[in-house]
């Protein structure tokens, strides 16, 4: 691998003088804060929200560092992992010159972020069984390919890519390999976080929106070597994660056992739902899943999707996505929610079968 971080970073980012927030310009204890033009009289909420939050989320990172066995300087905390995705484009990709490589079908924000940042997009589609196609990947990479996105477990397909395969890509790719592990907590495959010091071009994304059940907080992570994380902190907005989100996340991080219990329940419900879906004639195939959802190939995705909407049940119609014709993506719900889905499908199937009789 011919990897040189300095050569990958955009020149304007190298020259950038990052914004210096008021609280970063002093160290030590203080009694009176008159530096940041805050409302010193407080807020109507009667909480400490009239002060700006910790711009580097120090307490949050202390807990995560211990949990993940990494250094605080190897953690970026963002406004969802989508912020980390956007920052990767801003740091490494020159508009109208560089390109990124994605492996459809995959998470749609990689393409959206590329289009927002006016960066070229190359595609190396997964194989028919949703595996990485290394020949296509290697053929697609050129001297201006700065980022390679691998989602594992993948969205919308649900399958996990083997750790050894991903690390082989990291060895051979001269740009930044971004592994999106939004659903890793539902998988038996181990996270790649432990590999960030051995692979200087590896960035691992995680989120608190899925297994941790904190989608409303909008908090995500990027984990990488110190040099890459320093670039994230150089470019990010000064107060990118709110005080409310930081306080709630700290409380949640202290209850990891509850999260682990929920994960077990979701995985159990996933396997139960898969078994029951197999009994429907309108279900043609259920793809293996290491996530909190299943991708289901059906006889008529559009019709079933609309029928479920009439039953006030919302799933994701993925039939227009590459390699996903006829497919619906179904999130694993509570036992009651899953039962409502199954009853609605029974109702649909009776109507569907009846239409063949007459």
Q: Mapped to the 3 state alphabet, what secondary structure does 342-357 carry? A: HHHHHHHHHHHHHHHH
Q: How far apart are CA 344 and CA 333, in angstroms?
A: 14
Asked whether residue 207 falls in the same domain as residue 338, the answer is no
Quick check: 150 and 192 in contact, CB under 8 A?
A: no
- Whole-angstrom CA distances from 303 to 273, 312, 341 are 21, 14, 15
Asked whether residue 239 falls in the same domain as residue 266, the answer is no
How many CA atoms lie less than 13 Å away from 219 in the CB half-sphere?
Answer: 26
Q: How far apart are CA 1 and CA 201, in angstroms?
A: 10
Under the banding of pLDDT at 50, 70 and 90, the label for residue 355 is low
- The tokens for 315 are 């799933």
Task: For 163-176, give one letter per residue: b (16+ CB within 10 A) or e.
Answer: beebbebbeebbbb
Asked whether residue 80 falls in the same domain as residue 217, the answer is yes
CATH code at position 266: 3.90.1150.10
Residue 29 pLDDT > 90: no
Under the banding of pLDDT at 50, 70 and 90, the label for residue 330 is very high
Asked whether residue 231 falls in the same domain as residue 275, the answer is no
Backbone φ and ψ of 285, nearest 5°: -160, 140
Quick check: 79 and 217 in contact, CB under 8 A?
A: no
Asked whether residue 11 falls in the same domain as residue 145, the answer is yes
Under the banding of pLDDT at 50, 70 and 90, the label for residue 358 is very low
Confidence (pLDDT) at 170: 97
CATH code at position 20: 3.40.640.10
Q: How far apart are CA 220 and CA 42, in angstroms?
A: 29
**What are 206's strand-pairing partners?**
221
Asked whether residue 195 falls in the same domain as residue 271, the answer is no
The residue among 269, 285, 259 whose CA lies nearest residue 341 is: 269
Residue 204 pLDDT > 70: yes
Ordered alpha helix ranges (H), 144-225: 163-172
Global pTM reads 0.94
Q: How far apart are CA 128 and CA 162, in angstroms?
A: 17
Asked whether residue 227 falls in the same domain as residue 311, the answer is no
Confidence (pLDDT) at 356: 45
Of 254, 287, 315, which residue sits at a domain end?
Answer: 254
- The tokens for 168 are 């082989």
Residue with tokens 């307490």: 59
Assign 3-state DSSP to the chain and report helix, strand, coil percentages, each to 5. Answer: 45, 15, 45
Structural domain including 233 reads 5-254
Asked whether residue 240 falls in the same domain as residue 350, the answer is no
């Amino acid at each position: 691998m011919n990897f040189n971080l300095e050569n990958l970073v955009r020149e304007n980012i190298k020259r950038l003088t990052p914004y210096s927030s008021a609280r970063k310009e002093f160290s030590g204890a203080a009694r009176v804060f008159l530096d940041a033009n805050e409302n010193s009289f407080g807020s109507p909420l009667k909480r400490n929200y009239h002060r700006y939050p910790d711009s580097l989320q120090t307490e949050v990172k202390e807990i995560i560092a211990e949990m993940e066995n990494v250094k605080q300087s190897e953690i970026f905390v963002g406004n969802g992992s989508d912020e980390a995705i956007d920052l990767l484009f801003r740091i490494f990709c020159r508009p109208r010159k560089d390109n990124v490589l994605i492996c459809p079908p995959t998470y749609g924000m990689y393409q959206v972020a590329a289009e927002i940042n006016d960066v070229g997009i190359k595609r190396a589609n997964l194989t028919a069984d949703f595996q990485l196609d290394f020949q296509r990947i290697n053929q697609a990479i050129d001297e201006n390919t700065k980022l390679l996105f691998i989602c594992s477990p993948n969205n919308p397909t649900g399958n996990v890519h083997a750790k050894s395969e991903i690390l082989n890509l990291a060895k051979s790719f001269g740009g930044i390999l971004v592994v999106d592990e939004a659903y890793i907590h539902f998988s038996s495959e181990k996270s790649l976080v432990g590999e960030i010091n051995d692979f200087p071009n590896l960035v691992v994304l995680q989120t608190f929106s899925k297994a941790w059940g904190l989608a409303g907080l909008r908090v995500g992570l990027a984990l990488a070597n110190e040099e890459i994380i320093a670039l994230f902190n150089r470019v990010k907005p000064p107060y990118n994660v709110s005080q409310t989100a930081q306080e709630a996340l700290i409380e949640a991080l202290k209850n990891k056992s509850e999260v682990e219990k929920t994960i077990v329940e979701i995985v159990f419900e996933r396997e139960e739902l898969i078994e029951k879906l197999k009994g429907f004639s309108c279900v043609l195939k259920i793809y293996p899943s290491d996530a909190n959802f299943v991708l289901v190939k059906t006889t008529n995705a559009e019709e079933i999707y609309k029928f479920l909407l009439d039953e006030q049940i919302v799933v994701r119609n993925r039939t227009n996505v590459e390699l996903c014709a006829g497919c619906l993506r179904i999130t694993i719900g509570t036992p009651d929610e899953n039962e409502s889905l199954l009853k609605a499908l029974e109702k649909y199937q009776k109507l569907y079968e009846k239409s063949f009789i007459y």
